[in-house]
Chain A
């Protein structure tokens, strides 16, 4: 049955059907093959997939990101980072990384973060004589921290489909996200050495203070989200609602958004929600088909014959997902493979939160691997360079991110120990 699933899904994807339709079609094929097909199942499970309070966090965090960008809040964060590290050699690169980490704490989407970072920082870096390919590569590589540091849309999807605590997944992402940022800083130090780039003038203590004050309310939001979730003050969905209202209030407070802009912001957020959630809802249908066809059991039997060692198993799965990430977008990959792989890893005693984090990091890296890399295309679009050029520029950052991923596979303590600080 597993072959029916894989072959039909890839057939439908390859002829160019939208992912949601391809998933529904392959679910229909499986259910027909099992003799269980009824259109009522489609209607019931699609709506069941959409009618979910936890998933409601997704439109809220998308909306928060849209408001932050429309309201000039992103610019204030970049100015804040520039005041502190702009004068160092290669300083704008560090500004990218620091702002990227803060953006990651405000929004849950790598694409949105990359677009926001790139729109502000790439023109600045070009003006100061930085290498175009490596600057764009750095922005794209930093953008994917957006889905690793909470909030994170793929983590919400993984949590709902896999029945894993979203709050725990969020908390698990904090430290690995920072480790990745650290890795990027180290690589950027070596990459930017070769550039003949100009630095920004050193900010005085007074200017630093002003930049901090100007960004203060925006910087507070990631803190509110993490503290609120850790303290059990609100659920991830409520955190999203609070974040959206908070973003709206500070944008008006900063006088950087007008009432006139709001309808467009809301419709854009609804469109993105429609795209993500339509796939998510169809994934519930195919998840149902996968379960009744007992595909996870088939896979467990196959893999347990291959190896009994959980680290080796995880290693194989990670390699497989990296390949998947090259040809598939993050959202569909999470939705398709979570119901298939999660039972396999829990069968050998791997913690679902730990696995969820690795899966999200892995498939986020997939966003910057060609030929299909959504974040890569966002970077190309902003810098007007080709996919080959950006691939050259991003390679060192991509390699360090993969190295960190496998480090986390070899040393689970890097994830589980900080997680226990955040969740006792």
Chain B
């Protein structure tokens, strides 16, 4: 299990590096080609957008893993531990519920757009929606594991559940 997680993590990071680097390269070389050679690659912008959507959702998985998604911890950070656990359970259940709705919507869009491809690259539009599906599935899994670990086993505490001083230093 440990090993599998490590491989998955390495894979995630590797894909991110390749996707982000290609995105930068596409946009940069388009500028260079335009001014140096009066050329422009027509598929460059579209391709970059496909990569961008994937960077966003893969980055969102990394952020879930490291609990760095933006949130307001004003209330949850200041109530007793018992209520913290209840709030954490409720808000994470909400997250799972919303992500399931999102997956359902994405699958509808994939079905609806299955014949449509990007005009310049020929890549199916479904590839955009697939990024959301992949991210949601992983985020649901991460969220469930984090919730169980904190609520039932007191492990893996979020930043606001740590003593105030330590919390500030990790920020």
Contacts of A299 in B (CB 8 A): none
Q: Which residues between 79 and 105 of chain B lie within 8 Å of chain A, taking CB atoms?
A: 87-88, 90-91, 94-95, 98, 101-102, 104-105
Write the chain A residue with the least CB distance to B107.
A43
- Please determine whether B108 and A43 come into contact, CB atoms closer than 8 angstroms: yes
Write the chain B residue with the least CB distance to A245.
B28
Counting chain B residues whose Cβ lies within 8 A of the other chain, the interface size class is 35 or more
Q: Which residues between 256 and 304 of chain A lie within 8 Å of chain B, taking CB atoms?
A: 262-263, 266-267, 269-275, 277-279, 281
- Please determine whether A14 and B75 come into contact, CB atoms closer than 8 angstroms: yes
C-alpha spacing A59/B102, complex, angstroms: 24
**Partner pick for A15 among B57, B59, B90, CB 8 A cutoff:** B90
Contacts of B61 in A (CB 8 A): 274
Q: Does B49 sit within 8 A of A, measured CB to CB?
A: yes
Q: Does A332 sit within 8 A of B, measured CB to CB?
A: yes
Contacts of A273 in B (CB 8 A): 55-56, 59
Q: Does A178 sit within 8 A of B, measured CB to CB?
A: no
Write the chain B residue with the least CB distance to A266.
B17
Write the chain B residue with the least CB distance to A385.
B168
Contacts of B123 in A (CB 8 A): none
- Please determine whether A16 and B28 come into contact, CB atoms closer than 8 angstroms: no
- Please determine whether A47 and B109 come into contact, CB atoms closer than 8 angstroms: yes
Residue among B35, B62, B129 with most chain A CB within 10 A: B62
Contacts of B129 in A (CB 8 A): 43, 47
Q: How many A-B residue pairs have CB under 8 A?
A: 206
Q: Mark A154-175, 1 if CB is under 8 A from B, else 0.
A: 0000000000000000000000
C-alpha spacing A262/B57, complex, angstroms: 20
C-alpha spacing A234/B31, complex, angstroms: 7
- Contact status of A16 and B109, CB under 8 A, knowing A50-B53, A241-B24: no
Contacts of A42 in B (CB 8 A): 101-102, 105
- Contact status of A274 and B171, CB under 8 A, knowing A43-B108, A56-B23, A59-B23: no
- Please determine whether A20 and B69 come into contact, CB atoms closer than 8 angstroms: yes
Contacts of A16 in B (CB 8 A): 71-73, 75-76, 87-88, 91, 160
Binding site for A on B (CB under 8 A): 13-14, 16-17, 20-21, 23-25, 27-28, 30-31, 35, 45, 48-49, 52-53, 55-63, 66, 68-76, 87-88, 90-91, 94-95, 98, 101-102, 104-109, 112, 128-129, 131-132, 160, 168-171
Question: 5 additional contacts, CB 8 Å, given A43-B108, A241-B28, A245-B24?
Answer: A21-B94, A39-B101, A47-B129, A56-B52, A380-B171
A and B contact pairs by CB, cutoff 8 A, 26 listed:
A12-B94, A14-B74, A16-B71, A16-B160, A21-B94, A25-B94, A25-B98, A39-B105, A41-B105, A43-B104, A43-B105, A46-B105, A47-B106, A47-B129, A50-B52, A50-B57, A53-B52, A60-B24, A241-B31, A245-B25, A273-B59, A277-B60, A278-B60, A279-B70, A380-B171, A384-B169
